[in-house]
Amino acid sequence: MAQITLAADGTLQVPQHVDIPFITGDGIGAEITPAMQQIVNKAVATVYAGERSIRWIELMAGGMAYEKVGTYLPDETMDAFAHYHVGIKGPLMTPVGGGIRSLNVALRQGLDLYVCLRPVRWFRGIESPVKHPERVNMTIFRENTEDIYAGIEWEAGSPEAKRFYNFLAGEMGVNKVRFPHTSAFGVKPVSEEGTKRLVRSACLHALRTGSSHVTLVHKGNIMKFTEGGFKKWGYEVAEEFGGRIRMDDCIADAFLQNALLKPEAYDVVATLNLNGDYISDMLAAQVGGIGIAPGANINYKEGRAIFEATHGTAPDLAGQDKANPCSILLSAVMLLEHIGWTEAGRAITDALEATFAEGIATADLARFMDNGQAVGTKAFTQALIARIG
Ligand code: NAD
């Protein structure tokens, strides 16, 4: 076995027998993560007939890490993700108190994973609230490190908010704050570097996947320098590709309408952090897939990527054989595509499509299917494994 490395030209070097680190995750993580591994192992073994394989390297994080070593996110876990480059994680509980806002945010920030990648597509058999969910096939590139999400804000009435307002009024000549003494304040940093590395990743993805179309989604009409800057810098990136990228842009509110009315008009979407948060969840809901949506956080420059279940730990279902493993499984398909093992990913999505078409799914999905037959996590996993075989 060997680890993935990054070549001088920035491409990933993936050995035939590869080490992939994983975090099991809290709550239902103990059920869905092993299910995902069994299915992936079966697909890789079947498709590559033993020529390729994955050795799974377990890393600690979350409740399990806290119990064993007294910390929710050990340094060794961060170091290992950096070392192995590509990994996958189950859901992690958010510790209450202790100064940690979220383990996921800590991982993203610690490894500077600046792209939140969310592909959105529909699976036949899955109930959707729209008439033509099959027309949705988009990949969202959400900026992951900047914007109002950077966490720079001050509570109303705090000495910091007062000081910040005094600076705005006294030194910057700002007199537009309607209720200055009861206002909270937040700062929205959007940089040229941050924008360009995100949009460049979106353009390269569009070229890699055979589409050349990238749409910038922003509110540059209102926030002229932050979101307007995103648009301007985004178009500058398109110029670097010398006409190979077909770029357009759309104001965020119009995009939300258009994505519902003519979703086929969009392919790869690059957007800022907050817009991306709304857009990813709306599109996932549009294909009925909010509970099974996959995702990844990626730093293409350093070659680091963590694929993840996008839902939480579902403590209400933990240990009952009811959890749906599809979010982490589809994230694993993204991982396989990311390392170039596309055929194994395809074998999994083919098996999923056929299994859903027969109405076989966990209860959260089966209850909305006309021919739905609810099965447990284990039986669903076995149905997929049997189909891949
Ligand atoms: P949740 O996603 O865990 O649960 C919301 C609802 O969705 C519940 O009814 C749950 O049963 C259902 N659900 C979630 N995943 C499911 C699955 N795979 N199969 C079937 N049903 C599923 O959100 P929550 O209850 O708000 O959060 C619980 C914990 O998870 C919190 O500690 C939260 O901070 C954490 N969380 C982690 C992540 C992450 O690691 N990416 C994301 C969201 C929440």
DSSP string, 359-383: TEE-HHHHTTSTT-EE--HHHHHHH
> What is the best residue among 311, 329, 367, 380 to mutate for testing ligand 1's pocket, by most ligand atoms within 8 Å of CB?
311
Phi, psi of 148 (to 5 degrees): -65, -15
For residue 98, the model assigns a pLDDT of 59
For residue 313, report the distance from its CA to the centre of ligand 1, in Å: 4
Taking the C-alpha atoms of residue 35 and residue 326, their distance in angstroms, rounded to an integer, is: 10
Residue 12 near residue 2, CB atoms below 8 Å: no
28 in ligand 1 pocket by Cβ < 6 Å?
yes
Which residue has a Cα nearest atom 5 of ligand 1? 314
Which residue has a Cα nearest atom 24 of ligand 1? 312
- Using one digit for the tens of pLDDT, what is the confidence trace for 26-66? 999 999 999 999 999 999 999 999 999 999 999 999 998 99
62 in ligand 1 pocket by Cβ < 6 Å?
no
| Ligand 1 atom having least distance to the Cα of 25 | 40
Tell me if residue 277 is catalytic.
Answer: yes
- Which residues are CB-neighbours of 222 under 8 A, at least 6 positions away? none
| Ligand 1 atom having least distance to the Cα of 311 | 2
Tell me if residue 219 is catalytic.
Answer: yes
How many C-alpha atoms does 222 have within 13 Å on its Cβ side? Answer: 6
Q: Which helix (H) or strand (E) holds 248?
A: strand 246-251
- Using one digit for the tens of pLDDT, what is the confidence trace for 247-286? 999 999 999 999 999 999 999 999 999 999 999 999 999 9
- Which amino acid belongs to residue 281? D
> What is the best residue among 93, 108, 297, 313 to mutate for testing ligand 1's pocket, by most ligand atoms within 8 Å of CB?
313
Which residue has a Cα nearest atom 38 of ligand 1? 312
**Beta strands 304-309 and 86-89, pairing class:** parallel
User: Rounded to 5 degrees, what angle do the CA atoms 312, 313, 316 make?
Assistant: 115
Residue 362 near residue 376, CB atoms below 8 Å: yes
323 in ligand 1 pocket by Cβ < 6 Å?
yes
For residue 36, report the distance from its CA to the centre of ligand 1, in Å: 17
For residue 290, the model assigns a pLDDT of 82
Tell me if residue 147 is catalytic.
Answer: no
Gyration radius (Cα) of the chain, Å: 22
Q: What is the mean pLDDT of each run of 10 residues along the chain (389 residues)?
A: 89 96 97 98 97 97 91 93 96 77 85 96 90 95 91 93 96 94 96 98 95 96 97 98 96 97 97 96 90 94 95 94 97 97 97 94 91 95 95
Q: Which residue has the tokens 């999505």?
A: 349
Tell me if residue 350 is catalytic.
Answer: no
For residue 97, the model assigns a pLDDT of 66
- Of the residues 68, 79, 224, 253, only one is catalytic, namely 253
For residue 312, report the distance from its CA to the centre of ligand 1, in Å: 3
For residue 95, report the distance from its CA to the centre of ligand 1, in Å: 14
Taking the C-alpha atoms of residue 142 and residue 353, their distance in angstroms, rounded to an integer, is: 27
For residue 288, the model assigns a pLDDT of 87
For residue 147, report the distance from its CA to the centre of ligand 1, in Å: 25
| Ligand 1 atom having least distance to the Cα of 103 | 40
For residue 149, the model assigns a pLDDT of 81
200 in ligand 1 pocket by Cβ < 6 Å?
no
94 in ligand 1 pocket by Cβ < 6 Å?
yes
- Of the residues 42, 89, 219, 322, only one is catalytic, namely 219
